[in-house]
Amino acid sequence: MTATARATASRRTAGHYRFRQVARMEWIKLRTLRSTWWTLAITGAGAVAMAVAIGINTRSPRGDLTNNALAGVVPGLLLTGVLGVLVVTSEYTSGLIRGTLAAVPRRPLVLAAKAAVFAGTTLLVGEAASFTAFFAGGAALRQGIAAPALTQPGVLRAVVLSGASFCLIGLLGLGLGAIIRHTAAAVGALVGGVWILTAIAAGVAPGAAAYLPVIIIGNSLSATRPENCPAHAAQCPHILSPWAGLGMLSLYAAIALAAGGWLLTRRDA
């Protein structure tokens, strides 16, 4: 092809790359790694297995049976969180980031597309895992204990929000990955921030614990009665309402993504 012919050919394709093209790239990247599907499959299987185990061992119909069935969500979050970290850091480890940013020099678009594609995937998988765990946990209950139904107050909300928490913790990981860029350090920050900080805060500052992701997911999102106050307790522990908890988790993810996007545009690749 001569230079003139090539110039004509490139003029034929008007416009420029947009979110749609970049999102397609990120979707191909996500689905062409076997580790993506293994991680998501183990996350779902773990949540369901835990629901069944708790269901079989439930001896009393009292207590929040929905919350019990969703108990496998919190450990599974570690996997989607790490997957979110890897969506960004694996590009730095492999050197692919330079190819990505050469293909799409408008960097905020890259992070936005990564976040959107990852969020869509983990939301679907997370909801599927959450609903399956809920029904499996109910089915595993012994005779005489009625399984919770989605029509009971707060139950549908608890199942849906628990499913969404995979996506939100995943996005927090993705943002941390963009900020830190190194896999081990970013996974460390995620585990430290989400799990270890929770354990420390529970002992040191119980008032602050309500704002930490694991407490929000375990006690606000996945509970049908978030106050969950024992009848004879002198004082109820401070627990966020489900929707306030959802807002809090979204805020964490948004802050991490915004900081990651800001740094991505300012640093050399």
Q: Which residues bind another protein (CB under 8 A)?
A: 1-3, 6-7, 9-10, 13, 15-17, 21-22, 24-26, 28-29, 32-35, 90-91, 94-96, 98-106, 268-269
Nearer to another protein, 37 or 243 (CB): 37
User: Shortest gap between Cβ of 262 and another protein (angstroms)?
Assistant: 14
Q: Check: CB of residue 177 under 8 Å from CB of residue 89.
A: yes
Q: Which DSSP string corresponds to 180-226?
A: H--HHHHHHHHHIIIIIHHHHHHHH-HHHHTTSHHHIIIIIIS-SST
User: Shortest gap between Cβ of 54 and another protein (angstroms)?
Assistant: 35
Nearer to another protein, 131 or 262 (CB): 262
User: Shortest gap between Cβ of 95 and another protein (angstroms)?
Assistant: 4
Nearest residue to 79 via CA among 173, 154, 200: 173
CA atoms within 13 A on the CB side of 160: 9
Nearer to another protein, 100 or 165 (CB): 100
Q: Residue type for 258, please?
A: A
User: Shortest gap between Cβ of 3 and another protein (angstroms)?
Assistant: 4
Nearer to another protein, 17 or 243 (CB): 17
For tokens 């079989």, name the residue. 56
In whole angstroms, give the CA distance from residue 248 to residue 269.
Answer: 31
Neighbours of 51 (CB within 10 A): 27
User: Shortest gap between Cβ of 14 and another protein (angstroms)?
Assistant: 8
Nearer to another protein, 98 or 238 (CB): 98
